[in-house]
Amino acid sequence: MNFLISGYGDRTSPTLKLYHNDRIVWRDSILNPSYLCQTDTLLFAVGEFEEHSSITSYKKTKIGYRKISVLNLEGKQLCHLSLDERQQLIAGSCWGNGTFYTVFYHSDGTFGKHSVYKVPSDNVNEISRFHSSVFHKNWLFTVNIGIDQIICFDIRGGICCEYSRLAFPRHTGPRHLLLHVYREILYCITEDSSQLFVIDIEHPKNMKIVFFIDLKSSHFTGRCYGSSLAAAKNFSDLYAANRGENTIVHFHLDKNGIPIFSQHTSCHGDWPRHIALIESDSYLAIANQKSNEAVFLKRNPDSGLLCSIPSKKIFHPDISFISEQI
């Protein structure tokens, strides 16, 4: 079981760790690496700050990673990276303002040219805040949690041109996107309303919401804040992390990719900020930020159901991200 963990923090303790089973085999300390993305040879780490942003690149070695380069960028609170290996292009989303980037990278881990894009809000009472993005064909789908929109960009040669927008209901706060690998569908979890939306992107000019469902269970009376999504490799099952209620919501996916509710399971901690399926979908890994731990729940390969008792927990201060190492 090889997995990567990152979290908020200063350089007084490791903020990046690579585990092999229960043993740390590599670590590094950079400031606030709140999100990671990777290829089979490279690792990229966000630096999330109030007044600027950074991306740190690493090259994979036999035992871990070697730091290659740091790219400093304008923009507030860079919180997400997505990657298109075909174009060797990274997209970065800034939660602090309506800024996102495209950055070329080279196979040795160095950075090429980058472009900065700013999308302001048309409403003085709203702040434009990009939170995540997904590459698909020649499109880049970006989600703006501040203005409740998905914005689709036509992207060619690393240059983005706005193509279309899809408005969500006001104050839902679309946060994180997941692309269905076999269908022209995006899944989107919302932070402010804690809902799961399904978006048809077969015709990007006319994106449309085809389904949505609440994540909060009927007996919970507090506030919930949806955060992250994970899907089985064959897209038989979808999992959503629900902060506040501190649950993982499991859905079966029908033949058209529409979610069918299955169960709520405890995240066995506080504030599940990020989730990922690992070990050939054998476990769901949960980064519980406020309880400072990674939790691993065994997954039934036939039903997709999660075990109610954790297989293990690993301490990591202010954990924000967890993923299997590619």
How many residues make up the chain in this entry? Answer: 326
* Within-domain flag for 29: no
CB within 8 Å of 23: residues ≥ 6 apart: none
Per-residue pLDDT at 268: 98
Per-residue pLDDT at 58: 98
Q: Mean pLDDT in runs of 10 for the chain (326 residues)?
A: 94 92 94 97 96 96 96 95 97 96 97 96 92 97 98 95 98 98 97 98 98 96 97 98 98 98 98 98 98 98 97 96 97
* Within-domain flag for 54: no
* Within-domain flag for 17: no
Q: What is the DSSP letter of 260?
A: E
Separation CA 145–CA 147 (nearest Å): 6
Calculate the alpha carbon distances from 125 to 78, 99, 122, 146, 147 in Å: 22, 18, 9, 10, 10
Place of tokens 């809000």: 121
* Within-domain flag for 248: yes
* Within-domain flag for 152: yes
* Within-domain flag for 267: yes
Per-residue pLDDT at 125: 86
Separation CA 173–CA 206 (nearest Å): 20
Is residue 225 packed enough to be buried (19+ CB in 10 Å), middle (13-18) or exposed (0-12)?
Answer: buried
Domain of 240: which CATH number? 2.130.10.10
| pTM of the predicted structure, to 2 decimals | 0.97
User: Total structural domains in the chain?
Assistant: 1
What is the number of other CB atoms lying within 10 angstroms of the CB of residue 268?
Answer: 19
**Half-sphere exposure (CA, 13 Å, Cβ side) for 292?**
7
* Sign of the dihedral defined by the CA atoms of residues 274, 278, 284, 289, in that order: negative
* Within-domain flag for 156: yes
* Within-domain flag for 1: no
Query: Rg of the chain over CA atoms, in angstroms?
Result: 18
Question: In which domain, by residue range, is 109 found?
Answer: 68-324
Separation CA 15–CA 192 (nearest Å): 28
Per-residue pLDDT at 12: 81
